[in-house]
Amino acid sequence: MRTVLVGVGGWGKNHARVLHDTGTLTAICDADDTLAEQFGAQYKVPYYTDVQNMLYGESFDAAIVATPTKTHFQIGKMLLQSKKHLLLEKPFTYEPAEGRELQSMAKKAGVILTCGYIERFNPAIQTTRNIIQDKTHGDIALLEFHRESNIPVHIKDVGIIHDTAVHDIDTANWLFDQMPQVVFARAGHIRHTHEDFATVMLGYADNRTAILACNWLSPVRSRMFRAALTDAIITGDFITRHVQINDKTAPVTEGEPLKREIDSFLEAIKTNSEPVVTAHQAISVSEIAKAALLSSQRGVPIYLDLR
């Protein structure tokens, strides 16, 4: 499977490493010619600074795009027009309408289109989902997520809701196995031009609720979650991948989430099967993130109609 990577700054460098390890990295593209040359030399693959030139110069099957959010739509269009399988990093597209257009293009081209919601591949979340689904400890009622760190230096075009909270929005949807009916959010900014702290509440059917708190104000990086079930409390750490059911440690399988994500993408292409994260699900997360921003601006809950 010949795969190219567009964007090697920030998170993209990790994609480059894993793709190289899988033996599928075919070329690298980055608008920064210094970065493009550096990573091209490091992994001994051709490098480009323009996606169109790469399309002319290389033969490949699939692409991963890890560029700034606001560029995803145009880059995605170029790749889908050339019938390339595509993994767009979160949050897919900033505007849900752009995501729907890409979804339509992918369907017409007959290619796989997915989004990099990496926590779906985190062993801690996979373990938690299995516990929820087997109902040994009853039904799930409440989810809580907490993420904090310093400001990511490479994030300029969006705030913490579209960059960070979207991970937990997608995870909540996946663990509840449904879409929220209402969103209420409070957000503001202290150091960033966009919001750098936010609390988001998602309301689901049967009074199920997810509460997401995140900020870019802390020197300490933390990624935690908690799930309240009828007969147990599950607590977990996204970083260490430690999971506890009440006061007992739950067994968690080993494995790097990003490698699992990329392996899953490549497998979906080989088997022509639905990806773990569908374009429809990714678009719904963009809809929810947009509603959260609107709620924080207006100070009112925003009701959703997601199917």
- Strand-pairing partners, residue 224, are 146, 237
pLDDT 10s digits, 26-80 = 999 999 999 999 999 999 999 999 999 999 999 999 999 999 998 999 999 999 9
Please give the CATH architecture assigned to the domain spanning 3-117+261-277: 3-Layer(aba) Sandwich (3.40)
- Strand-pairing partners, residue 246, are none
Task: Residue 126: name the closest of 234, 15, 275 by CA.
Answer: 234
Tokens representing 91 are 């949050």
Delimit the CATH 3.30.360.10 region(s) of the chain: 119-255+285-303
Domain 119-255+285-303: assigned CATH number: 3.30.360.10
Q: In this structure, are residues 48 and 28 in contact, taking their beta carbons and an 8 Å threshold?
A: yes
Tokens representing 210 are 């997810």
pLDDT 10s digits, 84-111 = 999 999 999 999 999 999 999 999 999 9
Tokens representing 100 are 């729907």
Delimit the CATH 3.40.50.720 region(s) of the chain: 3-117+261-277
**Largest separation between any pair of C-alpha atoms in the chain:** 58
pLDDT 10s digits, 227-241 = 999 999 999 999 999
pLDDT at 119: 97
What is the rounded CA–CA span in Å between residue 156 and residue 170?
A: 22
Classified as helix, coil or strand, 22 is helix
pLDDT 10s digits, 264-286 = 999 999 999 999 999 999 999 99
Query: In sequence order, which residues have a C-beta less than 8 Å from that of residue 234 and are 6 or more positions away?
Result: 128, 131, 137, 226, 227, 243, 244, 245, 250
What are the angstrom distances between the C-alpha of 131 and each of 174, 209, 228?
Answer: 13, 18, 12
What is the rounded CA–CA span in Å between residue 178 and residue 297?
A: 26
